[in-house]
Amino acid sequence: MITKFIKRILRRDPMVKHTQANNTGAPKRIPKKAHRIDPHLLSKNAVKVTHTLQQAGYEAFIVGGAVRDLALGISPKDFDVATNATPDQVQRLFRKARLIGRRFQIVHVTFFGKGHPEIIEVSTFRALLDNAGDHVAESGRILRDNVWGSQGEDAARRDFTINAMYYDPSSETVLDYHGGMADMQKKTLRMIGDPAKRYREDPVRMLRAVRFAAKTGFELDSATRTPIAKLGKLLNDVPSARLFDEILKLLMSGYSWAAIQGLKDAGLHHGLLPLLDHILDKGEDSKGANDFVKLALANTDDRIQSGKSVSAGFLFATLLWPDLLKNWKANSAKGMANIPALHDAMDDTIATQSSGMTIQRRFESDMREIWSMQPRFERRVGRYPYRLIESPRFRAGYDFMLLRCATGELNAAIGQWWTDFIAADPTGQDELMASVKNESGNSPSPAKRRRRRKPKSAVPPESAAS
Residue 205 interaction partner, one of ligand ATP, Mg ion, none, beta carbon < 5-8 Å per kind: ligand ATP
The CA distance from 244 to 238, in Å, is 10
Shortest spacing between CB 58 and ligand ATP, in angstroms? 19
313 binds ligand ATP (CB under 6 A): no
The CA distance from 448 to 376, in Å, is 16
Of the candidate spans 57-65, 134-142, 180-188, 443-451, the one that interacts with Mg ion by CB under 5 A turns out to be 57-65
Q: Which helix (H) or strand (E) holds 427?
A: helix 426-439
| Closest listed residue to residue 248, CA positions, set 314, 195, 321 | 314
205 binds ligand ATP (CB under 6 A): yes
Catalytic residues: 78, 80, 159
Shortest spacing between CB 69 and ligand ATP, in angstroms? 6
Shortest spacing between CB 159 and ligand ATP, in angstroms? 4
Give the up-direction half-sphere exposure of residue 282: CA atoms within 13 A in the CB hemisphere.
17
Is residue 417 helix, strand or coil?
A: helix
224 binds ligand ATP (CB under 6 A): no
Shortest spacing between CB 142 and ligand ATP, in angstroms? 9
Residues 242-301 that bind ligand ATP (CB under 6 A): 249
The CA distance from 190 to 128, in Å, is 19
Residue 393 interaction partner, one of ligand ATP, Mg ion, none, beta carbon < 5-8 Å per kind: none
Q: Which residues pair with 173 in a beta bridge?
A: 168
Residues 242-281 that bind Mg ion (CB under 5 A): none
Of the candidate spans 109-117, 158-166, 378-386, 454-462, the one that interacts with ligand ATP by CB under 6 A turns out to be 158-166
80 binds ligand ATP (CB under 6 A): yes
Size of the site for ligand ATP (CB under 6 A): 11
Q: Which residues pair with 220 in a beta bridge?
A: 189
**Of the candidates 37, 59, 65, 328, which one interacts with Mg ion according to CB under 5 A?**
65
Shortest spacing between CB 122 and ligand ATP, in angstroms? 12
Q: Identify the DSSP state of 253.
A: S
- 238/289 with CB nearer ligand ATP: 238
225 binds ligand ATP (CB under 6 A): no
Is residue 173 helix, strand or coil?
A: strand
Residue 313 interaction partner, one of Mg ion, ligand ATP, none, beta carbon < 5-8 Å per kind: none
The CA distance from 38 to 75, in Å, is 10
164 binds ligand ATP (CB under 6 A): yes
Beta strands 219-220 and 188-189: pairing type?
parallel
Write the CB contacts of 438 (distance below 8 Å, at least 6 apart in sequence).
none
345 close to 328: Cβ distance less than 8 angstroms: yes
28 close to 176: Cβ distance less than 8 angstroms: yes
251 Rama sector, left if φ>0, alpha if ψ -120 to 50, beta otherwise: alpha
Amino acid making up residue 35: H
Residues 356-375 that bind ligand ATP (CB under 6 A): none
Of the candidate spans 88-96, 157-165, 304-312, 362-370, the one that interacts with ligand ATP by CB under 6 A turns out to be 157-165
84 binds ligand ATP (CB under 6 A): no
173 Rama sector, left if φ>0, alpha if ψ -120 to 50, beta otherwise: beta
Shortest spacing between CB 79 and Mg ion, in angstroms? 8
Beta strands 60-63 and 173-176: pairing type?
unpaired
Q: What are phi and psi of 209, to 5 degrees?
A: -60, -45
**Of the candidates 59, 159, 183, 323, which one interacts with ligand ATP according to CB under 6 A?**
159
**Of the candidates 35, 46, 64, 316, which one interacts with ligand ATP according to CB under 6 A?**
64
Shortest spacing between CB 81 and ligand ATP, in angstroms? 11
The CA distance from 294 to 290, in Å, is 6
- 155/373 with CB nearer ligand ATP: 155
Residues that bind Mg ion (CB under 5 A): 65
Residues that bind ligand ATP (CB under 6 A): 64-65, 80, 158-159, 163-164, 202, 204-205, 249
